[in-house]
Amino acid sequence: MTEIYHNPRCTKSREALNLLQSRGLDVRVIKYLEEPPSEKQLRQIVKLLGIRPEQLVRKGEKLFKELGLADQTLTDKQWIATLAEHPRLIERPIVVHDGKAAIGRPIDQVVEILDG
């Protein structure tokens, strides 16, 4: 099964979902703002993406500034906890397919894990 961490209000997220559906994939849509991933799920996503947790953070998000995160140095564990508590900060969309993951910015990254 393919999973997409989806925000229906996001153009890139809708584009990724359309791509998955156009390929006839069985897709589990996770509206992560309504159903936030746990810290354990976030650790797994970061591992599949091959990135540090901080790289999953939407630093241009208003909430990022409101929380004063630009002025802090957080550990990977603290970033995971922050993302779990504030899912709006999670970069989107994230697609998980066949043991691989990609952030759909640009959409080509999703195509790579589907075709790879």
* Residues forming the active site: 10
Q: How many CB atoms lie within 10 A of CB 84?
A: 18
Which tokens go with 3? 């999973």
Phi and psi at 40, nearest 5°, equal -60, -45
Which tokens go with 73? 């140095």
- Rounded to whole angstroms, the Cα distance separating 31 from 20 reads 15
Give how far Cα 34 sits from Cα of 30, 96, 97, 98, Å: 8, 18, 21, 24
